[in-house]
Every structure is written in C-alpha cells, then in structure tokens.
Amino acid sequence: MTRAILKCNYSCIMTSNTQTPGGSRPGGRTARNTAAVLQATLDELGEHGYHGLTVERVATRSGVHKATVYRRWGGVDGLVSAALEWSTAHAWEPTRTGDLYTDLLRLAETVARGFADAPESDLSTASIAAAISSATVAEALRAFMADRHARAAVVVEEAAARGEVPEDTDAHEVVRVAVAPVYYRLFVSREPVTAADLRRAARTAADAAARGLLTTDHRTG
C-alpha cells in the first residue's frame, strides 16, 4: 500500500518539509536535514526493519548529528510518525476498472504485495509495530489509514452509481471486509496469503455488498 513510497528519492521528500521545528525558521539547512533524516529512516527500515531501526544509525547515515535527531523527532517512534505523516500527503489512487470485484481484488493485492515482498521491511509494517507501543505513531497511522479509506471508497461509490450495489452501501465497510482478512492473515493468524485468498476476500466483500449485507442501516443487525 505504501510500497511505492520507499522508491521515492531524496528530492521527493524535499518537497514536503512539514516537519520544520517551530515554524519560525524553515530555512534551507533545516529542510535539508529533514529530508536527509527521513530518507535515511526509510532506507534503514528497508534494510533492517523496524526492529533494527536505531536513531544512531539514522543519524550516521543522514550525516545529521545524533543529538539533533533526538531533539527534532524525539526518538525512533517520532521518525516513523514523521515518515508516515509525510506519506499521507503522497497522493494515492485506487485502480478503477468498472467492476467492484476487480477493484477490490486490486486493493487486496496491493496490500498483500506491499507486505509479501519485503516482510518487516516496510514503512507500513513498521507503523503497525510502532503504533502498538506509541500513541504518537498510533495517531499517525490512524490518520494515514483514514486517508487511504477515503480514497478507496470511490470504487464502492462508483459501483453504487452503476447499480452493482444498493445506494446506501457503507463504502468503508466494504473496503474493510475486503482487506481485513489479508491483514489478519499477515499479522494475526500468520497464515500464508495466496492469490486464491485474495480473490475470496474480494469476492466475499463484493457479493455481500451486492446482496445488501453492507448497507449503512444494516449496522444494528
């Protein structure tokens, strides 16, 4: 889901320096440091995962002094939060094929692929791990996922417009039903995620929506 973000290079982060200190002096050096540190954070996550993410290594890699990193971001959790908040600004759009099932399948595939390729070496994985022990990261993750959910909801709304699903279908719930089993297998039950599993998850969500099981007033079932 955030896979493409890791491919992002130096200049990519340069453009979104929302992490400037007080805001009183967003000068060139500060922005440069922010870019270098966040990029180093992503690189370190890609190489050693969240478990091996160290302020000292990030500082050395970025060329920014260790004390500065501690002052600006507070620690490892702050680094993950900042990287995650930045990625929220990164535009993302779901693929729209004109068929709800296919759209949901693409969504599930995106999730699975992002984690399957490099387990524990992804920003998303790091965020989930860090959010468990850090309220700051938890809030950043919540905001990130809310953004993704809002964007993904489009595929359901279009399906409703086409008449595939009832008008009062809960778009967010459809997305949840489609992707939740994937995350569940990855992080909770620790079962392998096959292509058939992804198809089943998407099929269940699409069929349930089509039959009116996921409408907004169905909530009090």
Partner DNA sequence: CGATTGATGCGACGTTCGTCGCGTTAGTGA
Partner DNA sequence: TCACTAACGCGACGAACGTCGCATCAATCG
List the one residue from 24, 133, 189, 220 that touches DNA (CB under 7 A): 24
Which structure tokens are listed for 25?
A: 């002096």
At 90 the three-state DSSP class reads: coil
Is residue 114 within the footprint of its own copies (CB under 8 A)? no
Is residue 145 within the footprint of its own copies (CB under 8 A)? yes
Count of all residues that appear for the chain in the document: 221
Is residue 17 within the footprint of DNA (CB under 7 A)? no
Q: How far is the CB of 142 from DNA (least distance, A)?
A: 24
Q: How far is the CB of 184 from DNA (least distance, A)?
A: 29
Tell me how far apart the alpha carbons of residues 54 and 194 are, in angstroms, rounded to a whole number: 33
Which structure tokens are listed for 34?
A: 């922010």
Under 8 Å between Cβ of 123 and 87? yes
Is residue 217 within the footprint of its own copies (CB under 8 A)? no
Q: Show the site string, 43-62: x = touches DNA by CB under 7 A, - = not.
A: -----------xxxx-----
Q: Residue 39: which of DNA, its own copies, none does it interact with, CB under 5 to 8 A by kind?
A: none
Tell me how far apart the alpha carbons of residues 138 and 77 are, in angstroms, rounded to a whole number: 10
Under 8 Å between Cβ of 53 and 32? no
Query: Which residue, 58 or 100, has its beta carbon nearer to DNA?
Result: 58
Q: Residue 208: which of DNA, its own copies, none does it interact with, CB under 5 to 8 A by kind?
A: its own copies
Is residue 221 within the footprint of its own copies (CB under 8 A)? yes
Q: How far is the CB of 146 from its own copies (least distance, A)?
A: 7
Which structure tokens are listed for 80?
A: 């993950």
Rounded to 10°, the helix 100-116/171-183 angle is 40
Is residue 25 within the footprint of DNA (CB under 7 A)? yes
Q: Residue 55: which of its own copies, DNA, none does it interact with, CB under 5 to 8 A by kind?
A: DNA
Distances in whole angstroms, Cα of residue 173 to Cα of each of 67, 170, 186, 188: 44, 5, 20, 20
Looking at residue 50, its amino acid is Y
List the one residue from 38, 131, 156, 159 that touches its own copies (CB under 8 A): 131
By CB under 7 A, name the binding residues for DNA: 20-22, 24-30, 33, 54-57, 63-68, 70-72, 74-76
